[in-house]
Amino acid sequence: MNSTPQSETDEVKIVDGIHYHQFDVVIVGAGGAGMRAAIEAGPQAKTAVITKLYPTRSHTGAAQGGMAAALANVEDDNWEWHTFDTVKGGDYLVDQDAAEILAKEAIDAVIDLENMGLPFNRTPEGKIDQRRFGGHTRDHGKAPVRRACYAADRTGHMILQTLFQNCVKLGINFFNEYYVLDLAMTEVDGVKQPSGVVAYELATGTLHVFQAKSIIFATGGFGKIFKTTSNAHTLTGDGVGIIWRKGLPLEDMEFYQFHPTGLAGLGILLTEGARGEGAILRNASGERFMERYAPTIKDLAPRDIVARCMVQEVLDGRGAGPNKDYVYLDCTHLGAEVLETKLPDITEFARTYLGVDPVVEPVPVFPTAHYAMGGIPTNVQAEVLRDNDTVVPGLYAAGECACVSVHGSNRLGTNSLLDINVFGKRAGNAAAAYAKTADFVPLPADPTKEVRELVDMLRNSTGTERLSTIRKELQEEMDRGAQVFRTDESLGNVLKTIHDLRVRYTNIAIQDKGQRYNTDLLEAIELGFLLDLAEVLVFAARNRKESRGGHMRDDYPDRDDEKYMKHTMAYLSGDPHSPDPEDHITLDWKPVVVTNYQPMERKY
């Protein structure tokens, strides 16, 4: 498929060098959520997918372990147990109506993918095989359950390929290597409404305006605010950053998940599916230390718990290696056949990047920044919220960039691939339904003004700062002060550093001044989004004086349901360049939706 397809239905108007397109539904992002939305919206409405990557390079393809669904193919299971595990795993900050939808619709989501052609692993009877995963249990926590449907340890890759093939079959319009840099908003009856998006075409440097009745953001996460991360270099939070700069809120940004098993020193992911198959975490003395922390489900406790336990082992002097700064993932007892057939990718990763063969020796691992639980607030129909209750008409979000909130303060493994399919499907259907009855909102008089000014400023800057230096310092400071363990002091230090970096960012210069394939320019723009989102994350984390899920405060080690059993809502409320974030970030609260499960002590 061409990088700039011109379908029969895409009539392009060029005014002053700006290309104008018109679609009923525009989807920003071509990962799992974006393409699942496109499969629903495409047959119902004139649909375009805009992506800064070729679709099959999207980060969904890096997901390894599986997709949860209570199929009960291997052992007894039901969607209510899955709902409970999701709520408990999220440390009770999960909106339970969303969790019920996720668990109920999981079964159809898996069967949809199977019917599209996804090659799941099979049981001897020919059913979709399932394996254990962290935090997934039977009988409301009594024992681990096999709930994760998987395709070896390449499940995300298989999902991405399957969805892309089905999009091609449907003739979806793809605009590949187009960077969406702004959301056009037009005032209607005193309220700003979305009217389109502005994109920068990488191949030419041309700006494109896509007017749309419905717009879906499915732009993924922002793990590159951290140095040690499982995220690709492209996960810079552009979509979340655009929403933030438009004055719309972000929800629960302080909750970031650190996956327990990243390759030590590198952050490259080793799937939780390895522990689902029976791999064991051990400290330097060979002790299976998770038996002390989570005696019931041990190594298959939720990720936030396992990550903290691993770090605690290192802090207590039981770490391995020359610097005693990691622990081991022991797969040796699984045997070569299991590793080569069910876990081939992680086996190869360990051999390639660390020179360690998991068949005969344990693999050095340590937590790595992995997944944003927070993001663009939506309701269960994937409609973006302007505040706690008010919907922004025609604007939707799904996947990691969105906060339903189905993951609360800690996402269970395999619920992300499920999330993108369940809520990606819902977003596509809702966007198409809205487009059938809505009119186009007129574009602003000059929709590209802000993007042109930003691009011209960066391209013409004669500053002395290098963006690679600022990005490196941001990532190292986030690792130092806002990772698994946090304190008021560490978060305060990070905020000071971010402010200094934001000042220096105004003095950056890029080396490439050209128009075609100017990745230097786009990396500079991405860095601006990273600085914005890092500041919101740390500011919200400093405000939440408790420990819950992925947010662990050493100075406030207990969960405080009386004060903090509620979502954080952050608003951009002033000049973002002011020295004190309190001058431009306002925090508010949003109630958690509770249906069947009252907060309880989290024992595993």
- pLDDT, tens digit, 9 for 90 and up, residues 277-307: 999 999 999 999 999 999 999 999 999 999 9
**Residue that has been written with the tokens 């997901």 in this structure:** 63
Whether residue 214 is annotated as binding a ligand: the answer is: no
Average pLDDT value for the chain: 95
Q: Alpha-carbon torsion 501, 503, 507, 512, what sign?
A: positive
Give the gyration radius of the chain's Cα atoms: 23
**Residue that has been written with the tokens 């080569």 in this structure:** 340
**Residue that has been written with the tokens 């130092």 in this structure:** 480
Residues with Cβ within 8 Å of residue 131, at least 6 apart in sequence? 66, 146, 148, 150, 273, 276, 277
Q: Which residue in 278, 268, 331, 275 sits closest to 303, CA to CA? A: 275
Instruction: Provide CATH 3.50.50.60 ranges for the chain.
Output: 13-62+158-256+371-437
Region of 117 please: left (phi>0), alpha (psi -120 to 50) or beta.
Answer: left
Name the 3-class secondary structure at 134. strand
Cα 412 to its chain centre, rounded Å, is: 13
Whether residue 29 is annotated as binding a ligand: the answer is: yes
| pTM for this predicted structure | 0.95
Whether residue 490 is annotated as binding a ligand: the answer is: no
Whether residue 186 is annotated as binding a ligand: the answer is: no
- The secondary structure of the chain in percent helix, strand, coil, rounded to multiples of 5, reads 35, 25, 40
220 contacts 375 by C-beta, under 8 angstroms: no
pLDDT tier, 6 (very low <50, low <70, confident <90, very high otherwise): very low
Whether residue 400 is annotated as binding a ligand: the answer is: yes
Burial (0-12, 13-18, 19+ Cβ within 10 Å), 142: exposed
Token representation of residue 519: 């990745």
Q: Alpha-carbon torsion 470, 472, 473, 475, what sign?
A: positive
379 contacts 395 by C-beta, under 8 angstroms: no
Whether residue 41 is annotated as binding a ligand: the answer is: no
Whether residue 32 is annotated as binding a ligand: the answer is: yes
Whether residue 416 is annotated as binding a ligand: the answer is: yes
Instruction: Provide CATH 1.20.58.100 ranges for the chain.
Output: 448-565
Whether residue 30 is annotated as binding a ligand: the answer is: yes
Whether residue 427 is annotated as binding a ligand: the answer is: no
**Residue that has been written with the tokens 């008010």 in this structure:** 390
299 contacts 280 by C-beta, under 8 angstroms: yes
Average pLDDT over residues 539-560: 97
Name the 3-class secondary structure at 425. helix
Percent of the chain with pLDDT over 90: 94
Query: Choosing from 36, 154, 303, 553, which is the catalytic residue?
Result: 303
DSSP H/E element including 256:
strand 256-263
The CA-based angle 39-43-47, given to 5 degrees, is 75
Domain 13-62+158-256+371-437 CATH superfamily: FAD/NAD(P)-binding domain (3.50.50.60)
Tell me what pLDDT residue 73 has: 97
DSSP track, 258-320: EEEEEETTT--B--THHHHTT-EEE-TT---THHHH-TTTGGGS-HHHHHHHHHHHHHTT--B
Residues with Cβ within 8 Å of residue 113, at least 6 apart in sequence? 67, 120, 159, 162, 421
Whether residue 278 is annotated as binding a ligand: the answer is: no
Where do the H-state alpha helices sit in 171-259?
238-245
**Residue that has been written with the tokens 């946090």 in this structure:** 486
Percent of the chain with pLDDT over 70: 98
pLDDT in tens, 15-29: 999 999 999 999 999
518 contacts 512 by C-beta, under 8 angstroms: yes
Q: Determine the topology of domain 259-367 in CATH.
A: Flavocytochrome C3; Chain A, domain 1 (3.90.700)
pLDDT tier, 135 (very low <50, low <70, confident <90, very high otherwise): very high
Angle of helix 519-543 relative to helix 488-505, nearest 10 degrees? 150
Question: What values do phi and psi take at 30, rounded to 5?
Answer: -125, 35
Tell me what pLDDT residue 8 has: 46
276 contacts 133 by C-beta, under 8 angstroms: yes
Question: What values do phi and psi take at 229, rounded to 5?
Answer: -150, 150
Whether residue 64 is annotated as binding a ligand: the answer is: yes
For residues 171 and 42, give the distance between their C-alpha atoms in angstroms, rounded to a whole number.
8
pLDDT in tens, 182-230: 999 999 888 899 999 999 999 999 999 999 999 999 999 999 999 999 9
Residues written for the chain = 604
Whether residue 127 is annotated as binding a ligand: the answer is: no
Whether residue 551 is annotated as binding a ligand: the answer is: no
Average pLDDT over residues 251-258: 97
Instruction: For 183-196, give the secondary structure using H, E and C.
Output: EEEEEECCEEEEEE
97 contacts 83 by C-beta, under 8 angstroms: no
CATH 3.30.365.10 fits 448-565, yes or no: no
For residues 237 and 224, give the distance between their C-alpha atoms in angstroms, rounded to a whole number.
8
146 is catalytic: no
Using the predicted structure, report yes or no on whether residue 1 has a pLDDT greater than 60.
Answer: no
176 contacts 54 by C-beta, under 8 angstroms: yes
pLDDT in tens, 33-57: 999 999 999 999 999 999 999 999 9
For residues 123 and 102, give the distance between their C-alpha atoms in angstroms, rounded to a whole number.
25
Tell me what pLDDT residue 574 has: 79
